[in-house]
Amino acid sequence: MRDETIALHGGYTPDSTKAVAVPIYQTVAHEFDDADHAAAVFDMDIPGFHYNRLNNPTNQVLEHRLAALELGVGALTLSSGTAAVLYSLQNLAGLGDNIVSAPQLYGTTYTLFVHILPQQGLEVRLAADDTPAAMEALIDDRTKAIFCESIGNPAGNVVDLEAVAALAHFHGIPLIVDNTVATPMMIKPVEHGADIVVHSLTKFVGGHGTTLAGGIVDSGKFPWADHPDRFPMFSRPEPSFHGVVYPERFGDAAYIVRCRTVGLRNAGATLSPFSAFLVLQGLETMSVRLDRHEVNARAVAAYLAEDRRVSWVDFAGFPDHPYHELSERYLKGRCSSLFTFGVVGGYDAGLRFFNSVKLFKRLVNLGDAKSLVSHPASTTHRQLTAEDLKVVGVTPDMIRLSVGIEHIDDIIEDIDQALSAACGAE
């Protein structure tokens, strides 16, 4: 099936009720037939459900659709995108290990990498930029993965996934890609060599600003068993799960099964079935929404580029943009509706613009059907120092727009009046 069809039908066959909508299995646990059945389900010898911290029929449909869209062998849904990033790393790295990352990161991911994980003994090394050369300089024998965002939030950079994947595989480590901004409808990182894909499903997939959710997709392609010294968790018996050796028992799905049975089972960032249902509703219409998002974003970017109250526009859809070539290669002529611009007058003018919008919603989500605006330096990235802001690509005057699907004239009229409030009439 094609993506648009998968988003509507993938992973679900109506049960005895013949319900067309995926049912919400709002239950904590599932009954066993007998002791043998319980043992077989717990050991994952047969498909089944037992305690909904680990799996649930509603969540499973979402996982199947996400895996199909991202070309993976399996997926795991979680309570937030941040949980997905955290679990994806903890599943393959531990005390004394390190991860190499591109520096252009969402604010909370940056804080997790720079301040939280090091306290737990896991170092994250931020490269000078998103090029393979900058990343390779930081790799050593304790490096367990390379991490990047396919499209940086809010930096707007487009990573050369094929080149970075080749670097990772040369060193015997996987590439983990956060594909939240691009979505699998625009970029499929696995097609370009990525091994693991993470998502904040809260954003474009959910699409309506109602539901926190995250996901991890396993490509099934990384040869964990070929690197027993670097990844002992995939070559030795797992003490927390009856001594199983994951690649021997679960084959290509070793990574995602371990993520569920060790990470989710013991730390419990579980997505509720009702939340999974809401994300499924959003997923069904994502392809249609993305088309409208893009049309509107192109019009807004063109308008801003001609306005003298705007000092710069960072939109990869422009032919002179430094990432335009990579954007054309990986997005195949499409562009994200998330982009940034600078207001003439710096930080204070940026705040005045932010405070003056009427249609745009002032909040820190993205990918909503509604148009959203944020001033990163004072919101999502406010905990960062001036030097940290430079590293992640945030400037004091930066305004981040997530252009929604309202009528384009209403969107531009709101931007115009907010610019007038910030800088005066053009």
pLDDT tens, residue by residue, 182-225? 999 999 999 999 999 999 999 999 999 999 999 999 999 999 99
pLDDT given for residue 396 in this prediction:
87
pTM passes above 0.75: yes
What value does the mean pLDDT take over residues 359-383? 88
Binned at pLDDT 50, 70 and 90, residue 376 comes out as: confident
Q: For the chain, what is the mean pLDDT? A: 94
> What are residue 142's phi and psi, to 5 degrees?
-105, 5
- In this prediction, residue 154 has a pLDDT band, given cuts at 50, 70 and 90, of confident
Query: Are 405 and 290 a contacting pair, CB within 8 Å?
Result: no
Classify strands 372-374 and 196-200 as parallel, antiparallel or unpaired.
unpaired
CB 123 within 8 A of CB 78: no
| DSSP states of 71-94 | T-SEEEEES-HHHHHHHHHHTT--
- Tokens 């239950």 belong to 27
CA 20 → CA 48, 205, 276, distances in Å?
Answer: 22, 20, 16
Average pLDDT over residues 267-291: 97
How would residue 155 be classed by pLDDT, with cut points 50, 70 and 90? confident
Instruction: Indicate the pLDDT class of residue 169, thresholds 50, 70 and 90.
Output: very high
Region of residue 128 (left: phi > 0; alpha: psi -120 to 50; beta: else): alpha
Q: How many whole angstroms separate alpha carbon 109 and alpha carbon 116?
A: 10
pLDDT of residue 78: 98
C-alpha distances in Å from residue 345, one per residue of 310, 398, 404:
9, 11, 26
Burial profile 366-393: b = 16 or more Cβ within 10 angstroms, e = fewer? bbbbbbbbbbbbeebbeebeeebbebbb
Question: Residue 366: its pLDDT value, please?
Answer: 94
User: pLDDT tens-digit profile of 58-93?
Assistant: 999 999 999 999 999 999 999 999 999 999 999 999
pLDDT of residue 382: 66
**Structural domains of the chain in order of their starting residue, each with its CATH number:** 3-281 (3.40.640.10), 287-423 (3.90.1150.10)
Q: What are phi and psi of 415, to 5 degrees?
A: -60, -45
Q: What is the pLDDT of residue 2?
A: 94
* pLDDT band at residue 393 under the 50/70/90 scheme: confident
Q: How far, in Å, CA of 282 to CA of 205, rounded?
A: 6
Q: Cα 379–385–391 angle (5° rounding)?
A: 95
In the prediction, which pLDDT does 385 show?
74
- Helices 408-423 and 346-356 cross at an angle (nearest 10°) of 140
User: At 215, which helix (H) or strand (E)?
Assistant: strand 214-218
Does residue 145 sit in helix, strand or coil? strand
Average pLDDT over residues 216-240: 96
Q: According to the model, what pLDDT value does residue 426 have?
A: 65
Q: Predicted confidence band at 27 (pLDDT cuts at 50, 70, 90)?
A: very high
Residue 173 contacts residue 195 (beta carbons within 8 Å): no
pLDDT over 90 (residue 334): yes
| pLDDT (0 to 100) of residue 383 | 65
What is the reported pLDDT for 409?
98
> Is residue 211 within 8 Å of residue 283, measured between CB atoms?
no
